[in-house]
Amino acid sequence: MGMTMTQKILAAHAGLRNVVAGQLIEADLDMVLGNDITAPVAIQEMTKIEKKQVFDKDKIALIPDHFTPNKDIKSAQNCKCLREFAKEYEITNYFEIGEMGIEHALLPEKGLVVAGDVVIGADSHTCTYGALGAFSTGVGSTDMAAGMVTGKAWFKVPSALKFELTGCPDRWVSGKDIILHIIGLIGVDGALYKSMEFTGDGIKNLSMDDRFTMANMAIEAGAKNGIFPVDNKTIDYMKGHSSKEYKIYEADVDAEYEKTYNIDLSKIRPTVAFPHLPENTKTIDEVGDIEIQQVIIGSCTNGRLEDLRAAAKVLDGRKVKKGMRVIIFPATQDIYLKAMEEGLLSIFIKAGAAVSTPTCGPCLGGHMGILAQGERAVATTNRNFVGRMGHVESEIYLASPAVAAASAVTGRISGPEELGL
């Protein structure tokens, strides 16, 4: 029996010729990631380990992005913990305010992850790097601590679901719409501890930013990881961002999948996930008349340059509806700079939006856009659980940057087509 792409990567890093679903393995790690919430716990756990040296100072990344710039004393203490640890252990990839970004946009941009890598991160959206053909998954802080010391982690080899993508998406359909459509199809537990393996001719019609978004939200379907095959777009991206050697793995023709889903990209419409689960999806044609008070455009899911360009196309020459709050979060400093150079920030500000420094901010109910009781927001973030962005009686509607921008103009959930675009 052949192996999937994920299984081949894990086998290679475990020093095994082959692995099967359900097998317990110990694998070498190419990168260990933590942020200002999860890494301090891992650092504390390291004090309980006899060996207190890190396995490789170049293969650890520490990024203060969740409650930064520091929102209060506790968040400042957490960031101080990262800063002092990074200094003591000479961690190469510590990114201070002013050079940082939202971790899952920053690591690929900095070239720290490439195809064939095995990456763990103490953040559930570490699965983002599957867009590059890497195996990446979220872990707890104690596993992060062990990974920093040993350079290894144990895994149960996941079984796989295959998503055969065909066709070309319409103009206003993005990777966010596609992954919301898929999660609506299979449910938030539809890929529980499985690998979501994307394949098919339709992939050539998806940009790298589309793929990052889709891999990012694999966890919202319960998946262990999401992964894309490596093609010319992937290689061009890696060559443009990284000097690391990459290795391409391809699934065997007789690889075993629990189920195959055929997804025609040309038939997908802009999609919105209603409260309080990402699986509660409706197309833009089905949403009805829902008034909103806030729009958030950004996050590790949709804060990349293509996302900001899509929002700018909608907002250019238009105004945010009076009384609406619109906050835009470029995912990294480099994206922020490029958006400024392209004139995107000017479009946002003239439209009546606020532009923030890179931060996770409101996505996890942290700061910079918390919702009050009874308020509704359209957000390009990844989760819409009860109380996720503020008050337990607030509501989050997940959507693409284009839908979010159109909704900012009308003050209710809307698609760009409603504006004549």
What pLDDT digit, counting tens, does each position of 183-195 carry?
999 999 999 999 9
Rounded to the nearest integer, the mean pLDDT of the chain is: 95
Antiparallel, parallel or unpaired: β 294-297 and 259-264? unpaired
Q: What is the pLDDT of residues 351-367, one digit of tens each?
A: 999 999 999 888 888 88
| Tokens matching residue 173 | 């359909």
> Taking the C-alpha atoms of 191, 209, 344 and 368 in order, what is their torsion angle to the nearest 10 degrees?
30
The average pLDDT across 35-41 equals 94
The average pLDDT across 327-332 equals 96
The average pLDDT across 12-20 equals 97
Question: Any known ligand binding at 360?
Answer: yes
Q: Within its chain, how far is the Cα of 296 from the centroid?
A: 15
41 has pLDDT over 90: yes
Q: What is the pLDDT of residues 198-233, one digit of tens each?
A: 999 999 999 999 999 999 999 999 999 999 999 999
- Structural domain boundaries in the chain: 5-263, 272-419
The average pLDDT across 113-126 equals 97
Q: What percent of the chain has pLDDT over 70?
A: 100
The class that CATH gives domain 5-263 is alpha beta
Please tell me the predicted confidence (pLDDT) of residue 290: 96
Question: Any known ligand binding at 363?
Answer: yes
The average pLDDT across 1-11 equals 95
The average pLDDT across 37-42 equals 94
Please tell me the predicted confidence (pLDDT) of residue 363: 82
Please tell me the predicted confidence (pLDDT) of residue 165: 98
The average pLDDT across 89-115 equals 95
Q: For residue 180, name the pLDDT band (cuts at 50, 70, 90).
A: very high
Residue 263 gets which letter from DSSP? E
Question: Any known ligand binding at 127?
Answer: no
Same fold, 5-263 and 272-419: yes
Q: Give the pTM.
A: 0.95
| CATH dotted code for 272-419 | 3.30.499.10
Q: For residue 47, name the pLDDT band (cuts at 50, 70, 90).
A: confident
Tell me if 81 sits within 8 A of 316, measured CB to CB: no
